[in-house]
Amino acid sequence: MSSHRRFRLASPRPSQVAFLLASLLLAPVASSGQGGQTPAPVTTTAAWVAAALRRADYASVTGRFSPEVARVLDAARLKAVWESLPAQVGFLRSVGAPVSRIVGGRQVAYVPLDFEKAPLSLLVSQDGKGLIDGLRIVPGPPPAEWTPPAYADPAAYAESDVTVGPGEWALPGTLALPKGARGVPAVVLVHGSGPNDRNETVGGVRVFADLAAGLASRGIAVLRYEKRTKVYGARMAGSTTLTVNEETVDDALAAAALLRRTPGVDPARVVVLGHSLGGMMAPRIGTRDPALAGLVVMAGNTRPLPDLVVEQVAYLAAAGAGAEAAAKGEELKAEAEKVRALDPRNPPPAGTRLLFAPVSYWLDLAGYRPAEVAKGLRMPMLVLQGGRDYQVTAKDFEGWRAALGGESWVTLRLFPQLNHLFVAGEGPSTPAEYERPGHVAAEVVEAVASWVRALPAAPAAPAPLPRL
């Protein structure tokens, strides 16, 4: 989601148009399409899309959509979005050459759009058949190439491919292991909402790539993996029994088990670090795996997800983004009310979906209170929160503090300048901020590393008795 305030058409800022642009066009999604002949490069497709939009040939563009995109974006809606832009950002002066970038482990293309009052970019992705499976207009010029954070020391660790979990839900992952590791602590990284890649790529930020590099440089093994909804999204899309266990919890448990079997890792010091939804579910993961050494919660909500949806919609509405964005916000608020009203004794028909998930998902979470579960668990915890986070806010941080503050086994840290991705900035956070290249703040990496290293190690094996 993005933020919006009522437009002042004379001089809108890029961040002011973010909600309208991001909500009306689709973000790139994972694809399992396999082609016959090799499709054209995504940069070629993106250049063609930009040219077609300029000549108002919307039907040609939608004619190349993947089935998933075609179901939610037709030519009329695409026309409405494209032709609304001049009122927001002035006339289109020129279109630049497409550039390719890696987003979510996939190659996508950005086309620079030089509008009179603000630069924008057309973001295009395609599947293995060459069909357009992602289309967005994002604020600002194309992002710069991602580079490792300054606090990473690539010479201190090595990365290798691993497989998390067995059988039909096996997931590709990456293990970052300090060189010469002998009994080192280890961390599993658990994603937020959505079909995230192993790096938890969000716009110009790779949250988990930064954490893995920073922690491994400081003597801590780190396991990150593709989220199940990214790898098997098409297979899971029609499920009427999906819960957050299949989405998140089960794979986190499998990853922790894999780390315990990894040579060089201290099995007594395996930690789960959850971000956003992963932080919310960390106490449930700890309940199901009492052998974990501790939990790290980064921007984990303590309030129910529907409450956050309503709050985010209100935040976004404060910036204003036009009638269609407001209407979408009202839809989400209405669905959130339906989620709150669900009665497990009288559920709606199977297949009913609310807030993009089946009813089974919400019924599973109905009685879940993360902070209360954590208090009963009494497992070492580190809770981190960004002060500029508008998605999971200080209200949630206070929820953790109210339940766990004063407990000797809990550490709570608030970082006033950081946003939901734990990237530093100034002023109110906006979705446009996420598009800019950035890194998880070094102070967060240091906080996690020092806390993990302080966990008690497994007792050394006794020396063998001498033979008599």
The answer to whether the beta carbons of residues 17 and 117 sit under 8 Å apart is no
Average pLDDT over residues 279-297: 97
Q: Where are the beta strands (DSSP E) in 217-367?
A: 221-225, 265-275, 294-298, 353-354, 357-358
Strand partners, 108: 101
* Angle in degrees, 0-180, between the axes of helices 323-340 and 305-317, rounded to the nearest 10: 160
Average pLDDT over residues 297-312: 92
The answer to whether the beta carbons of residues 388 and 417 sit under 8 Å apart is yes
pLDDT of residue 186: 98
Q: Which two tokens stand for residue 404?
A: 């766990």
Whether the per-residue pLDDT at 122 is higher than 80: the answer is yes
Q: Which residues are catalytic?
A: 276, 389, 420
pLDDT of residue 334: 86
CA 17 – CA 398 distance, rounded (Å)? 31
Q: What percent of the chain has pLDDT over 70?
A: 87
Whether the per-residue pLDDT at 396 is higher than 80: the answer is yes
Whether the per-residue pLDDT at 178 is higher than 50: the answer is yes
Average pLDDT over residues 167-196: 95
Containing 241, the helix (H) or strand (E) segment is none
Q: Tell me phi and psi for residue 155, to 5 degrees.
A: -75, -10
3-class SS at 338? Answer: helix
Q: Which two tokens stand for residue 101?
A: 């970038």
Q: How far is CA 85 from CA 1, 80, 122, in A?
A: 19, 9, 12
> With the CA atoms of 75, 43, 136 and 68 taken in that order, what torsion angle do they form, in degrees rounded to the nearest 10?
60
pLDDT of residue 23: 37
pLDDT of residue 287: 97
Average pLDDT over residues 129-141: 88
Q: Which of 190, 349, 214 is nearest to 285 (CA)?
A: 190
CA 68 – CA 237 distance, rounded (Å)? 11
3-class SS at 107? Answer: strand
Q: What is the pTM of this model?
A: 0.80
More confidently predicted of 122 and 327 = 122
3-class SS at 394? Answer: helix
* Average of per-residue pLDDT values in the chain: 86
Q: Which of 285, 264, 265, 290 is nearest to 273 (CA)?
A: 285
Predicted confidence band at 131 (pLDDT cuts at 50, 70, 90)? very high
Average pLDDT over residues 202-218: 94
Name residue, tokens 């932080």: 279
CA 153 – CA 151 distance, rounded (Å)? 7
- In the chain, the domains with their CATH numbers are 14-139 (3.10.450), 154-302+369-453 (3.40.50.1820)
Q: Which of 391, 385, 383, 395 is nearest to 451 (CA)?
A: 383
CA 220 – CA 4 distance, rounded (Å)? 40
Predicted confidence band at 2 (pLDDT cuts at 50, 70, 90)? very low
